[in-house]
Structure 1
C-alpha cells in the first residue's frame, strides 16, 4: 500500500498501535454531539459532495462493477472536446467493447474538476470561512486539527514541514485528509489486518458518508467533516480508496497493467483528487482544471508504482505479486522467479521497463505541480523529488529489490528540500494544452 496508517479501525471499536492517540468512545460521542450542533447551524451538509439519492452504500463485490474512475488517455479535438481513444477500449471474450481502467477513471476527473469550477464561480476565495461558531465548538475543531497535525508530523516529517508554508486553512485540511488516508490504509496493512472483513470496510464506508453529511464519529472525523465543507472535495475518491482496501482482501495478482493501473488509482491516485482542491490552483495558471487534476493523479500513480517496485521482495514473502503477469511472461519470468528472489538479466531488463514507466508518470506529474497555488508547491515538489529518487536507488542496488530495500538516505533528503523549494518558486508556465498521461 501507499502509506502506513496510524490507527486500526474495527467495526465497533478502535485499537491503538501504540502511538497514544486512541480516542475513547465517550470522547467520540462528546465531539459528535458538539459537532452536530455546529453542523445544524452552519448547514455543513454540502450539496453535491454526497449523492443524496443514494440511500444505500455502494458495495463493490465484483471486479467488473460499473464504477466511475479517472482516466488520462485520449486527445482533444480542435474545439477542445475530449475524444475517447480506441486504445482505451477493450474487447471482452464475448466480443463486447468495454472501457479500459484509464477511461473509467476519467469520469471522476471530470466530476471533481466540475465541482471545483462551480466553487470558483460562486466565490473569489476557495477557502470558505465559517459563518457562525457556537461557544466551545471552535476549540474542539482546533484540537481535532491539532491531533491530525501531530500524526502528520510523526509519520510524514518532510511533507509536514512543507505544509507549514501553506495558509492555516489549507494546512489543517491537508492534515485531516492525510490522517483519514492513513487510518483507511491501516485497515488492511496494520496489525489487525487479519481481522478485517468486507463487512468492516462497508461500515467504514458508511462512516465516511456520515462524515460528508456532517455527522462525524470522533475527533479526527470531525476535522475531515469540516474540511470537506470548506473545500470542493468530492466523496468519490474516498470511496474509491476504500475499494482499493477491498481489493487487497481478495486479489494478489494482476494479469496486465490495465488491472494494475486501476489498483494504483484506488490506493494512491485518489489522494491526488482529494488534495488538489485543498492545495488550490495558482491564479495565474493557464492550465485547464482537468490537466491539473490529471497531474495530481499521475503523481499518485507514480508513487504507488514506485512503492510496488521497491517492495517486490516484501510483497512476495506475503504471497503477493503486484506486477503485470503478461509483462512478466513476455520477459520470460514467472511468479516462481520472483519467489526465488534471484537477480538475473531477464529480471534487470524487466525492471528497467517498469522503472521507465514510473518515471514517465513522474514527468507528467511535474506539469501540474507548477500550476498549484504557490504556497502549496513545496511539499508536493519535495514528495515528488524524494520518491523519484527511490527508483534511482533500485538501479544502484543492481535491481535487487528482493532482499535489499531501496531508500533515500537523510543526506539526500536534506539536499532535496532546497531544490524542491527553489522549484516551488517558479511561476506556472504559459500554456493552454493539457498534459496527457499514458501507460
Structure 2
C-alpha cells in the first residue's frame, strides 16, 4: 500500500495512525476529520472539563512532536460524504477526492437526538463544541437542569451539574439507571448515588415532548407529568456515523460490519472504535477504541485477517466522587456476590467501596468495582487470563491465523 486514509480524526483514528507507523507503513497517510480539532480525549468532557477543572489544552491527545512524527496530511473540518464501490476513493464534502489503497473507518458515533431539540437550552454532550456550549449555559447562574437518560453520559453530566450547584433531575425510561449494563442489584447502588447527592431520579417513564417556543421551558413526560427546565441535556445513546457509506459496497447495520479482526467486506477497508461492529458487537468504550487499531492495521497491511481483536469488555465511569469500573459481560439471570467491601443499609457503597462478581454456571463472567481500584485490577486480570485459556487451551500452540491481540 502506498496510501492509507483514516476517516475520523478520533481516538481510534489516532491510534490507527500510530499503529500504521509503528508497524512499518511509510507511505502517504491521510487523516480526514469532520471536526476542526486535532484528536482530543472525550471522557473528561462530561466531568473535569464541564466543571472547569480541565481546560482544552489538557484534552489534546497529541503534541507537536508526535504530529510531526506521524508525517500525516490532516484534512480537518471536512466531512467524508462517500466511499466508492471498490473502497479505493474517499469523497469529501468540499468536492475533493482522496485516491487510496487502504481505508480505516474511524468515524465514531453521533449523539442520538430528540424531536424539537433545536430549542435554545437543549444540549447533547458528545463533542468538544457540545461541551463548550453546555459549560457556557451552566455558567449563567443557578438553573433547573433535566438530564434525559441515566446511562453513563447522563449520570456523569448530572453529577457535574450537581457539583456546580444546579438543581438536577434525571429522567430514565428503565426502572433503574444502568439496568442493562449492571443488573438490578448493582443498578440500585447507582440510583442511591444520585439520591445521596440531592439529584432527583424519575424512572419508568419516557419523554413525550419538549416545551418552549424558542427556548426550552420544560419537558412533558409520557406519564402525563411536566418538569420545568432551564437546561435539558439529552443523553439517550449514540448513532454510528455510517450515512456517508451509502452506495458503497459496505452495508451498515448499527455500525460497520466487521469480522473478529475489524476487517469489512472489502479487505482493504477496516473499521475501529464506536462505528465498528466487530464480530457482531459494537462497543462504545475507550478501551475498544484503543485496542482494536492494532489488529485492524495488521490485517489491513496484510490484506487478510491474520489476528483478531477480541477482548474482555471494560469500562469505567466517575459519578459523584465514586469510580465505577466494570469488566466482562453481564446477562439477566447472573448471580451477583459482593466479595470485598460492602453496601450500606441505604444502598450506598461502604466507606471503602466494594467488589462484586457476576457468576453464571459456577464461573465468574463479569466484575464490578466501586472505589476499589486495586482489587478490581486483580479481578480484571484474572478474567482476562480465563478468557485466554478458554480460547486457547493449547497454551502456546497458536498459529498466526488464530492469534489474539
**Higher strand fraction (1 or 2):** 2
Same fold (TM over 0.5): no
Higher relative contact order (CA 8 A, sep 6+): 1
**Higher helix fraction (1 or 2):** 1
Which TM-score tier does this pair reach, normalised by the shorter chain?
under 0.3
